[in-house]
Amino acid sequence: MIMTSSPVSSIEALSAAIQSYNLFDKPAIVTNQDVWDKGFPDVETLNAEASDAIFRAIEQVRSGQCKVTSIAMTAEPGVGKSHIISRIRHRLQAEGGALFVYARKYGNLNLIKYQFQQILADSLSQIGSQGVMQWQELAADMANKAWRAMNPNAQLFSAKQLVETFSNPNSAAAKNIDWVDKLAADFRRLKRVDPDIIRAILLTLSEDYAPHAIKWLSGKSLSEAKSNALELPNPDYEDSDKEAEAFETVCQLLNLISDYNTLIVCFDELDANEVDDAGLTRAQVIASLVKDLFDNINRGVIVTVMLPDTWKNKIKQFSNASGIPARVSAAQPNPIDLNYMDGSSIVKLVTLWLENFYKDKNLVPPTATYPFEKEELVELGRQKLTVRQILRWCADNFKPRIIVDPAPPIIEPIKPPVELAFNKELEEGLGEYLEDFSLLEKALKFGFRTLIHKNVEGVTIQDVTGVEPKRDNAGYINFKVLGTEKDKVVKIGVSILQYSHGKGVTAGLSRLVQYKKFGLTRGCLVRSKKINPRWNAQTHLDKLISELGGEWAMLKVEDVKPLIAIQSVYEARQDYGLSEEQIFDFIDVTGLTANNPLLKEILSDPSGQIPTDAVDE
């Protein structure tokens, strides 16, 4: 079958293009970036019954047939669970009328509601259907509602118009933050919501204020100067109160969203084996969160995707009396089971990939599936293969019909699968990850664990442990690195303190200097920001550096991002089709952790100096 009426390209030209670049040689895993940005080519007929069920549920909520519902989907790795989520997101973005929240990375399971507040803030920071952030769409809805309530004949504006107005340096509104006070006061007459939350959402209409407002909405502290300028109070509660405070904020935000748009929340990557302090797996922690959301939001659809064994052995383990299984799959008694690709779907998928490839090369192949035969692709459909396995087969068999001599140089040599996965995770937009304590802790702990029994900076690492007594530490010292240095025992306490206010930094440093209580021989502060000399934290910092031989290791994006990326690969190794051995071999061969400047700085002899390149907030 000829694809177009254009002349078919020569076999030599087609072969040269195929020899130069293997378009299938990439990890066939959907990440945050694929969901929020362009994504993988999507065969919309594949598992259409699953996405159709979700859109029916959305329509039922929109029409008032039900207020809240939920759908669970199950499938083996690589069948296309995350592809369905990507399909939902992109269709909603095209159609409008909905705000989309996507949860994939969860951080500290013991603080899942606080983590979800950050996930929510990050999701709403993505571009919605109106070409601006979803936060800004919500803010525009609220502003228009307030104006119309005060004056039924008031002119209404699109989200884009409002963002342009409040971000224009020549605009009177942009120069005077009082516009927020007026709007917030008018809106609060309509709905009893925390006035600070209203204020923060409205501030997102200004491109200058938006990053700080979103940071505050995510539950993180602002610098003293920004807190005062935006009139947003920094949280004054202890870390132990984070869960309750976060969930109250989350419910207010989600219910505000559902006043104007259909809310869709999708939970992915439930299948990891990590557990919280109560012994609940990630899937069980997320299922409990789904129940709490289901019971507390006014309007929305909640979607979860997982392996069949996760549903059977984790979610169903909750008693029916708990209400958790019924809240996770409310639309029907059991999850929707996704299907393997049949021959027709495989042909459509491969055709989509090849169409983009040949278009970029300005080539016209003789058939839509060239260099593959349509019949061999149909035959693959009889083998019950996953999308991932099919794309792997394509990568292995993407070869020219004739070899062009001399062969052109390979532009992109085939890379080891771990390197491909690592590079894909490196491309992920992680948002404000220098503010994500849980993500940083996971990455650093994983990095040190890959170095157990190795000697780095004169320290032979033996173990990475938690900190006791837990109650006294309250999580401020994140972990301990145990080892030996010149036949002496070394116990390095690592404390990641990225707070923008003095209270958190003081609380953390006051623990870090208590070597005896927490069993330390050395304390190490990990931080990217300067410490205000007026804070009480300065006294503890002086003691740590000058008296106790401790260290301040500078936290830098370029040092921590590779650690976050490789830890993400390890966590998603089943999806990537990788073994632990493959990942650790890659780490060893590349020296990814042994040569990491941040890990080396933590292990090295303390310099006794305070960094001069810390960020001044």
| pLDDT tens-digit map of 541-571 | 999 999 999 999 999 989 999 999 999 999 8
- Please state the φ and ψ torsions of residue 593, each to the nearest 5 degrees: -100, -35
Read off the pLDDT of each residue in 93-109 and give the average, rounded to a whole number: 91
Burial of 140 (0-12, 13-18, 19+ CB in 10 A): buried
Q: Give the pLDDT score at 3.
A: 46
Specify the DSSP class assigned to residue 331: S
Q: Give the pLDDT score at 406.
A: 53
Q: Give the pLDDT score at 1.
A: 41
Q: How big is the chain, counted in residues?
A: 617
Q: Which amino acid is at 168?
A: N
DSSP string of 152-219, one letter each residue:
TTPPP--HHHHHHHHH-TTSHHHH-THHHHHHHHHHHTTS---HHHHHHHHHTTSTTTHHHHHHHHTT
Query: Whole-angstrom Cα distance, residue 527 to residue 467?
Result: 19
- pLDDT of 130 strictly over 60: yes
- pLDDT of 411 strictly over 50: no
First to last CA, the chain: 62
Confidence of residue 515 (pLDDT cuts 50, 70, 90): very high
- pLDDT of 581 strictly over 90: yes
Q: Give the pLDDT score at 171.
A: 72
Query: Whole-angstrom Cα distance, residue 339 to residue 343?
Result: 12
Strands 300-306 and 262-267: parallel
Read off the pLDDT of each residue in 202-219 and give the average, rounded to a whole number: 93
What would the two tokens of residue 168 be?
């224009």
Mean pLDDT of the chain: 89
What would the two tokens of residue 213 be?
């407002």
Read off the pLDDT of each residue in 387-402 and give the average, rounded to a whole number: 86
- Please state the φ and ψ torsions of residue 287, each to the nearest 5 degrees: -60, -40
Q: Give the pLDDT score at 404.
A: 57
Least Cα distance to 414 among 24, 34, 29 occurs for 24
Higher per-residue confidence, 413 vs 242: 242
Read off the pLDDT of each residue in 275-300 and give the average, rounded to a whole number: 94
Least Cα distance to 300 among 332, 253, 344 occurs for 253
Q: What angle do CA 16, 19, 25 make, to 5 degrees?
A: 140
Confidence of residue 273 (pLDDT cuts 50, 70, 90): confident
Whole-prediction pTM? 0.86
Q: Where are the domains of the chain?
A: 11-28+341-414, 66-97+262-283+291-338, 108-260, 433-603
Q: Give the pLDDT score at 436.
A: 80
Query: What are the tens digits of pLDDT across the range 5-48?
Result: 568 899 889 998 998 888 888 777 777 777 888 766 778 888 89
Strands 455-456 and 459-465: antiparallel
Number of CB atoms found within 10 A of residue 236's CB:
9
Kindly report which listed range (169-173, 402-406, 433-437) carries the lowest average pLDDT score.
Answer: 402-406
Read off the pLDDT of each residue in 423-448 and give the average, rounded to a whole number: 83
Read off the pLDDT of each residue in 358-377 and give the average, rounded to a whole number: 93
Higher per-residue confidence, 615 vs 377: 377
Question: Strand pairing partners for 264?
Answer: 100, 301
Confidence of residue 410 (pLDDT cuts 50, 70, 90): very low
Query: Whole-angstrom Cα distance, residue 425 to residue 411?
Result: 22
- pLDDT of 606 strictly over 80: yes
| Cβ pair 424, 26 in contact under 8 A | yes
- pLDDT of 174 strictly over 80: no
Read off the pLDDT of each residue in 354-380 and give the average, rounded to a whole number: 93
Number of CB atoms found within 10 A of residue 614's CB:
15
Confidence of residue 118 (pLDDT cuts 50, 70, 90): very high
Query: What are the tens digits of pLDDT across the range 453-472?
Result: 999 999 999 999 999 999 99
Query: What are the tens digits of pLDDT across the range 223-233?
Result: 888 899 899 99
- pLDDT of 407 strictly over 60: no
Higher per-residue confidence, 71 vs 396: 71
Higher per-residue confidence, 26 vs 536: 536
Distance, CA of 133 to chain centre: 16
Kindly report which listed range (75-84, 451-460, 529-538, 601-610) carries the lowest average pLDDT score.
Answer: 75-84
Query: Whole-angstrom Cα distance, residue 556 to residue 596?
Result: 11
Read off the pLDDT of each residue in 216-221 and give the average, rounded to a whole number: 91
